[in-house]
Amino acid sequence: MRDLIQTVGIGNTPGHESASLEVHGDIASIMASMEVIDVMQRFIAAAQNDMMTRDLHRG
């Protein structure tokens, strides 16, 4: 796991909010890729739903 994480930073936040955590290294890239995949899956699901709705209204 240490090979995947190069740097961890704890950032200050205003007020009484929880501190922010920043992770740098390969794990950050992996997490970003996973987030993109999640967004793409939601987009595809919404597009398929839209297409099915259009087909129902046509038929």
CA distance 33 to 16: 31
26 in any annotated domain: yes
29 in any annotated domain: yes
Max CA pair span of the chain: 57
42 in any annotated domain: yes
1 in any annotated domain: no
* Residue that has been written with the tokens 């992770």 in this structure: 23
2 in any annotated domain: no
Condensed to tens digits (0 to 9), the pLDDT of residues 16-55 reads: 788 888 888 888 888 899 999 999 999 999 999 999 998 8
Q: Write out the residue range of the structural domain in which residue 24 sits.
A: 7-58
Q: Which residues pair with 7 in a beta bridge?
A: 24
Per-residue pLDDT, 34: 95
Distance of CA 20 to the CA centre of its chain: 17
Contact of 3 with 26, CB cutoff 8 Å: yes
Number of domains in the chain: 1
pTM of the predicted model as reported, rounded to 2 decimal places = 0.57
